[in-house]
Homo-oligomer: A and B are copies of this chain.
Amino acid sequence: MKKNILIIPGDGIGQEVTTWGKQVLEAIAEKYNHEFVFDEAIMGHTAIEATGNPLPDETLEKAKASDAILFGAIGHAKYDNDPSAKVRPEQGLLKIRKELGLYANLRPILLFDELLDASSLKPEVLRGTDILFFRELTGDVYFGEKKRNEDNTFASDLMNYHRYEVERIARKAYEAARTRGKKLCSVDKANVLETSRLWREVVQELAKEYSDVETEHMFIDNAAMQLVKNPKKFDVVLTANLFGDILTDEASQIAGSMGMLASASIGDSTGFFEPIHGSAHDIAGQNKANPLASILSAALLLDIAFGLQEEAKAVTTAVADTLKAGWRTSDIANGETPADKILGTNEMGAKVLE
């Protein structure tokens, strides 16, 4: 199989971890006789520094021309503390999601038995958890009109959804639920928001069509609570952009650490694969970041973008074996981890490659 893969390391630890996602893809190409042609592009703070634009045209063109994209992370504390900045790294990520029509963000909560103890949740609460989130990614209050009045006394963001936006992601979620536990939980705030009431109506309609899947509707406040209380009860979770952002980060504690979670953004064409963690500038460049989320993103890329299930499986098995052998990065280590088992980014990447 011949494929073009675009690597966008982005900001902060994105740089260090994406190297390992890429090396794993190279190793897979070699082992399974595929030809992966790599190109690289800039985005986010890195791109602002180089060109003034968080998503340069060249990056967008390369993205559109590629068969799949492996992305690192975005963001910089400089902008976070300057609420009045007009140009911001995140605009790059939001724009590429919109331009590539990446409306469905899949976030599987993959639980490695070896990491049960790394979580703040009790192992008996966690064991057996297997959730697949479908987060809508190109609508909601993320993309609605933003306003600020001239004297800075008022600001607004428009939360909004079109019926077709809800329907297309709900369909993807139902299709996935069919191949899994046949349960779908749709999360909204229909007791307060009009957007959520439209959302719920659309899902109720589809529920009839997918009557082999058990549909549940849950308010976001309750879902945030249930996810901590009893994560096992969830199978496929379908939700809007903002609620999905919050719930999936919260759910990262189930997997022991954000450093373990990968995501796939898909839509009309090229798929986009990235860790759910951020740029973590506080540990960037120190060989401390966990490369496993990037490596698992590479596995999702193989699986979802290229349909290479066997190759994807080889990657997740390599990660599982590395964990089984006791190797940890510091974010997933605990008090009982022997010091000589705690690895840096590069050492962990190399272990998985072995």
Contact = CB atoms under 8 A, between A and B. Distances in A.
Contacts of A79: 191
A94 interface: yes
A78 B43 CA distance: 48
A48 interface: no
Contact of A153 (B125, B148, B163, B229): B163
A35 B245 CA distance: 50
A193 interface: yes
Contacts of A84: 197, 201
Interface string A239-279: 00011011111101100001000000000000000000010
A195 B157 CA distance: 6
A245 B197 CA distance: 18
Interface bin, chain A: 35 or more
Give how many copies assemble into the complex.
2
A190 B12 CA distance: 19
B249 A225 contact: yes
A225 B249 CA distance: 6
A157 B247 contact: no
Contacts of A80: 190-191, 217, 219
A76 to B, nearest CB: 10
Interface stretch (A15-23, A139-147, A321-329): A139-147
A195 to B, nearest CB: 5
Interface of A: 75, 79-81, 83-84, 88, 90, 94, 120-122, 125, 141-142, 144, 146-148, 152-164, 189-198, 200-201, 204, 217, 219-222, 224-225, 227-230, 242-243, 245-250, 252-253, 258, 278
